[in-house]
Amino acid sequence: MNRHTASQMTQDLFHPFNTSAAIELETGALNTPAHMSLLSLFAGAGGLDIGFHKAGFNTIWANEYDKSIATSYQHHFRDVAFDGRSIVDIPESDIPRAMGIIGGPPCQSWSEAGARRGVNDHRGQLFFEYIRVLKHAQPSFFVAENVSGILHERNKVAFKNIIEMFVDAGYDVSWKKLNASDYEVPQDRERVFVVGFKKDLGIKFEFPAPIATKATMKDAIYDLKDLPFGNSCSIPNHEITDTGFSPMFMSRNRVRAWDEPSYTILAMDRHTPLHPQAPKMVNSGEKDKKLFAPGHEDKYRRLSVRECARIQTFPDDYQFIYTHPRNGYKMVGNAVPVNLAYHIAMQIKKHLGF
């Protein structure tokens, strides 16, 4: 790996900037060191941002079009310049330059459980907007996250083309499917991460090694088990929806024990895993149908929005703002787990020699 001294890195990192942006950074107008500044695309609730901030980076500009999510992001990241327009409507002249770009283009069209339209869906095509901004900003590195369905055989050609576009934009690119449970996240959650460095830096990114110790549900939420729900709770967002359990939900066990990681936290309340206070669901004798353990039916409930946020390793001081809890579940379920983002960010710092 081609390592630089701190002074050499500073000179290199200013190279992509235009003169006015470099002056702003040098004079502190963007309130962050030049070599640690970030643009956050498709920012969502900011799980990636929080993880990178913990590692010492600082978002200077963010974009999130979904109004039901943007309010929460802005409430937490009050010092970040925010643009709520659709990324397709934002001209390059309105986008500053920074040392890194992070973000997860909308993933529904790549999902194993979704419509599976991939690049033929307008949401899948938002990858091209990510690359448009990348070519404009010319950061030293980028991180793009997506669901594991993007690696499915049906998406093989599209994913190959996406990687080639990153390479053509001037980056050495690495990608890998990671399980969040390997990085101090109490949840089995597989996602694909693509990381690139400017070719002139001569860096081949190696993803962080898994952490041996696994976090569990007990580590994350045990202290919440006896707290009341709703406004009477001292911790925000500890509330649940009263949506019933669909036949699809009841088709398999949805309970993990206290000493296990959670199932994947999804973006829909009706697919939220069940609280570990309940026994695991039992066979009904029918195919694709499970039952709540007889005599324990009162113990089965969904994880609350806050419990899901804890499992996604969001801090308790992050307040999710919504008019209905289902929007809270959406924000939390679509986010990148904070601790996973942190480990990726620290590995990027290591490669850059910081």
- How many CA atoms lie within 13 Å of 10's alpha carbon, on the beta-carbon side? 7
Q: Quote the Cα angle for 117-91-33, to 5°.
A: 100
Q: What's the DSSP call for residue 131?
A: H
Amino acid at 64: E
271 burial type by CB count under 10 A (0-12 exposed, 13-18 middle, 19+ buried): buried
Q: What's the DSSP call for residue 94?
A: G
Contact yes or no for 43/62 (Cβ under 8 A): yes
Contact yes or no for 302/274 (Cβ under 8 A): yes
Closest CA to 82 of 50, 53, 39: 39
For residues 321-340, one letter each, b for 16 or more C-beta atoms within 10 angstroms of the residue's C-beta and e for the rest, the string is bbeebbbbbbbbbbbbbbbb
**Catalytic choice (101, 107, 137, 265):** 107
d(CA 100, CA 329): 28
Annotation says 308 is catalytic: no
Longest CA–CA span in the chain (Å) reads: 70
d(CA 306, CA 159): 34
Q: Which residues are marked as active site?
A: 107
